[in-house]
Structure 1
Amino acid sequence: MSGPPTESSPLTNLPSVVASKILSYVPWQEKKAVGQVITSWTEALRSTEAWRSVKYGPEIEENVYFARASRADFLTCVKQYGHFMRSIHLCFGYSITHTSMEPTGEQILMYVHKRCCNLTAISIEQEVPEGSHNALPFGWPSSVGNLIKDIAVDCKSLQSLALCQPIVVWDEESENILLLLTKSCSVSKITELELTYLSLLNQEGKLHLLKNFTSLQKLTVRREKVNKEILLHLVKHSLKELVLYQEEELPFEEQEDLGEDFWLEVKKVCPQFKVDLILRCIMILKILFPSSMPVRNLILDFLVNVMTKGIMDHIADCYRDTLKRFTYTNSFLEEQEMGDARVPASLISLTQKCPHLETLEYGFPLSSSAILLIAQSRKLKNFVVPSVEVSYSNDIPVDNSTPKAAEYFNLLKIIGSSRRNLEKTVSHILEQQWTLHDGPLKVNERIKF
């Protein structure tokens, strides 16, 4: 095993500007260790280039003991090098305030405020263990809101502030951090807001306070919490991206509120506007897919009814110029029967029609011949099909009057006769290693694009 670099090692003689560039790609945990091993890099460590982007977390992947140690190490790092940090992403998986997790998230935020005076961007994220429906232990009280406000106001270079799944205390006005932020000039720094189911527990009615967040560029919110008035107000200011979750049926009038006319108006104000649409636990109807909605990512999961050829074709025709990701699955069931046998053919058609499609995830029965035709239709970056849903058959209709077509589909049948042949062929077509997905296709509660 080779030891640490010696004085004659090329690494020790690199110019500081080069060493800083190398350090910018090293995780924060390892930067200090590198500086201790290569002492000539001390100057490089004390530069904004070396700390251009810093990511703490996610804590949720660590047990409580390691997470506590990580917080202590990161706090020390902020105290020592915070002045050079330009962009910070904090991802807490435990309570942001509870003293059993000292240093607390509040203490980390306090030292970010004290030491990170050159910040241009900060993202603060709260994760909650999967399946948890009690968000109370993870709540962000007003004390956290005040620290966020201080960072926004006192970090003069700050241009971007993202709050991702803040656990808001809605039943106490004095502890509601969103309300607190809207009452200060710090609201003008908030460019991204992700409000999930857990963020909105105990919140009733439409979220009219969103209209105060006039610097928002990206908003994630549940469909029933917004309307035409709220969204159009934000679009006319700075909103460019919208992630809409819909997990409950809405009256026709409310659903129609964000209909064809609304999206035409949005695109007039912001031609580059993008929508990510996540539909779960509801009945799928054409009204959910207005033709002018600029859908970038469409995720359909655990629907009450099944997809039909008509709806699939409607989606392909409406979003052919914008669609980049299409996911259709049932996270809670394996080997789900498909209701309309014509849907796989429509899936092939969708892939052919949508030139910007990069990701296709399909959790229902699909033949090997359909998979091969999809792969040939579009060089997808991500193509996910559960192995349990694949049948090794050629179910694509063949016109016997054209010998070449019959020969082609016969070849498809041979290539798709086994998993090994199928994976090898699709890997060759997509020019990357491709395998079928073992296990059910799961869609996370929070979708990160």
Structure 2
Amino acid sequence: MSHQQLKGCSPLITLPSVVVSKILSYLTWHEKLATANAIGINGMWAEALRSTEAWNFVRYGPELEENIYFAEASRKNFAACVKQYGNFMRSVCLTFGYSIANSSSGFSIDNTGEHILKLLQKRCTNLATLLIEQEIPEGCHDVLSYYWPTLVGIVLDHIAVHCKSLKSISLYQPVINWSSDDIFIFSTNNPVAMKVTELELTFMSLLNHDGKLHLLKNLRGLKKLTIRREKVNNEILLHLVRNSLQELTLYQEEELPYEDQKDLGEDFWAEVIKICPKFKTDLILRCVVVLKTLFPPNMPLRNLVLDFLANVMTKGIVDHISDCYKDTLQRFTYTNSFLENQEMGDTRLPTALISLAQKCSKLETIEYGFPLSSSSILLIAQSRKLKNLVVPSVEVTYENDLCMDNSTPNKEEYNNFLKLAGSNKKNLESTVSHILGYQWTLLDGPLKVNERIKF
């Protein structure tokens, strides 16, 4: 819309400034700049653009959604946006899909992630929260080119010092050169180390790092941590919990040495809950042998993801999970992202899944990527008002394979209901939709779990 067209829309011109600022707050930074170009530098809308309400939250990226040839132009345009409106930005989220430095992506020095961060330091004087995420293209063979240079840490330190309103820095998948003498965010008493509240360290973040990550203890304000299981122990985690840690996501994708298996047991979790009663834990297990010992009592388990396991789950393990986490579990995912049409192994597993839905009072999501009968799906849906029930259509058999207990009221009538409602896909989807209270359908295709899970 041109300036003249906007002037012709008298209702838009006469809106109160508080309403205009609210409208602008819902626009992306691209759309805000387009609006600024359309209206010129004067008038109510131009005035509203120069307010913290209009720029309360700004998201740049994800860059991987666009071609690298357009990404440099996006960085240039966003840098111009920060120069003009940075003083009004309160919360900024940056998701880089290409190197944050200038050495590998071919970007000019004025269009690097480093340059954008320097502009945040100089222009965003009212910044309260900052989130920086590094994405890496699937199949990338040159991860080293994604290393965050020491200069990034220096700039972040400057941001932490000069942005007086800054309360929180979140770092997702920083690619760190652990051989460097200066591991920027972990240096003792660094200004940025005091402001990091969320940290996600994936496999890519921990390349070439050996042993336990004791440097985590320098992050005194850390509230949320995502990390590989083998990098932490009782000492490290208790230190973090005593400071401020409230949420922990653990990835385990390899078997632990025997001495490490003793950590994070029942007594440890009892101590954690004593220190922080509202503590939450998420657990993602891949490529490991699943035993009951991986699920100790007292662990405040919120989300459990089991993918591509080295063995099959059994009814006994699922029942153990139900008993231990009946008051905390919100999500249960069990699948194999790499293979389709897998046998479930223990034929009693659907019964255990129904029991899980019945026992776990906070359960909101069940994702199950193995064979399941229509009658089992119906009983799961009746057991709990789930927000998400995900089952691939290819895994469903349309049969009533469950034997009702003799104490079941109107046993014959109920069996007839299961038989009719689960006789075909249309009837199943319609009945489950009615039970759950929203339009429910079977998943078209296999159940895949993303490598990086955001809870």
Question: 2:97 aligns to what?
Answer: 93
Tell me how far 1:9 sits from its aligned partner: 3.1
Tell me how far 1:329 sits from its aligned partner: 0.5
1:123 paired with 2:131, answer yes
SS in 1 for 2:377: helix
Map residues 220-299 of structure 1 onto 2, 5 A cutoff. 220-299=226-305
**For the residues of structure 2 that align with 1:234 and 1:402, how far apart are their CA atoms?**
50
1:29 paired with 2:30, answer yes
Match of 2:170 among 162, 180, 185: 162
Question: 1:419 aligns to what?
Answer: 425
Letter in 2 for 1:104: T
Question: 1:392 aligns to what?
Answer: 398
Question: Is the CA contact 2:288–2:309 (under 8 Å) kept in the aligned structure 1?
Answer: yes
Question: Is the CA contact 1:235–1:269 (under 8 Å) kept in the aligned structure 2?
Answer: yes
TM-score, normalised to structure 1's length? Answer: 0.96
TM-score, normalised to structure 2's length? Answer: 0.95
Letter in 2 for 1:239: L
The sequence identity of aligned pairs, in percent, is 66
Map residues 226-375 of structure 1 onto 2, 5 A cutoff. 226-375=232-381
**For the residues of structure 2 that align with 1:91 and 1:150, how far apart are their CA atoms?**
20
Root-mean-square deviation (CA), in Å?
1.8
Tell me how far 1:25 sits from its aligned partner: 1.4
Tell me how far 1:4 sits from its aligned partner: 4.6
SS in 1 for 2:205: helix
Kindly tell me the number of residue pairs found equivalent between the two proteins.
447
Question: Is the CA contact 1:320–1:355 (under 8 Å) kept in the aligned structure 2?
Answer: yes
1:216 paired with 2:217, answer no
Question: 1:55 aligns to what?
Answer: 59
Question: 1:178 aligns to what?
Answer: 185
For residues 239-287 of structure 1, give each alpha carbon's deviation from its aligned partner in whole angstroms, at most 9, with x where no partner exists: 0000101111113331221100000000000000000111110000011
**For the residues of structure 2 that align with 1:201 and 1:402, how far apart are their CA atoms?**
56
Letter in 2 for 1:140: W
Question: Is the CA contact 1:387–1:436 (under 8 Å) kept in the aligned structure 2?
Answer: yes
1:79 paired with 2:83, answer yes
Q: Quick one: structure 1 residues 286 and 435, their matched pair in 2 at CA, closer, same or farther if it must change by over 3 Å?
A: same
Letter in 1 for 2:12: L
Tell me how far 1:130 sits from its aligned partner: 2.1
SS in 1 for 2:243: coil
Tell me how far 1:409 sits from its aligned partner: 2.0
**For the residues of structure 2 that align with 1:412 and 1:73, how far apart are their CA atoms?**
59
Unaligned runs of at least 5 residues, structure 2 = none
Question: Is the CA contact 1:140–1:177 (under 8 Å) kept in the aligned structure 2?
Answer: no
For residues 5-36 of structure 1, give each alpha carbon's deviation from its aligned partner in whole angstroms, at most 9, with x where no partner exists: 45453222111111111211111111122334
Unaligned runs of at least 5 residues, structure 1 = none
Question: Is the CA contact 1:344–1:370 (under 8 Å) kept in the aligned structure 2?
Answer: yes
For residues 348-382 of structure 1, give each alpha carbon's deviation from its aligned partner in whole angstroms, at most 9, with x where no partner exists: 11111112111111111111111111112222112
Question: Is the CA contact 1:56–1:74 (under 8 Å) kept in the aligned structure 2?
Answer: yes
Question: Is the CA contact 1:386–1:436 (under 8 Å) kept in the aligned structure 2?
Answer: yes
Question: 1:11 aligns to what?
Answer: 12
Tell me how far 1:132 sits from its aligned partner: 3.3
Tell me how far 1:400 sits from its aligned partner: 6.1
Question: Is the CA contact 1:331–1:443 (under 8 Å) kept in the aligned structure 2?
Answer: yes
Q: Which moved more, 1:433-442 or 1:34-43?
A: 34-43
Question: 1:113 aligns to what?
Answer: 121
Match of 1:45 among 29, 43, 49: 49
**For the residues of structure 2 that align with 1:297 and 1:133, how far apart are their CA atoms?**
32
Tell me how far 1:403 sits from its aligned partner: 7.0
Q: Which moved more, 1:127-136 or 1:137-146?
A: 127-136
Tell me how far 1:37 sits from its aligned partner: 3.8
Tell me how far 1:401 sits from its aligned partner: 7.5
Letter in 2 for 1:141: P
SS in 2 for 1:182: coil
For residues 16-64 of structure 1, give each alpha carbon's deviation from its aligned partner in whole angstroms, at most 9, with x where no partner exists: 1111112111111111223344553111111001111111111111111
Q: Quick one: structure 1 residues 366 and 4, their matched pair in 2 at CA, closer, same or farther if it must change by over 3 Å?
A: farther
SS in 1 for 2:410: helix
Question: 1:436 aligns to what?
Answer: 442
Tell me how far 1:402 sits from its aligned partner: 5.7
**For the residues of structure 2 that align with 1:134 and 1:425, how far apart are their CA atoms?**
50
Letter in 2 for 1:284: V
**For the residues of structure 2 that align with 1:23 and 1:381, how far apart are their CA atoms?**
32
Q: Quick one: structure 1 residues 373 and 131, their matched pair in 2 at CA, closer, same or farther if it must change by over 3 Å?
A: farther
Question: 1:152 aligns to what?
Answer: 160
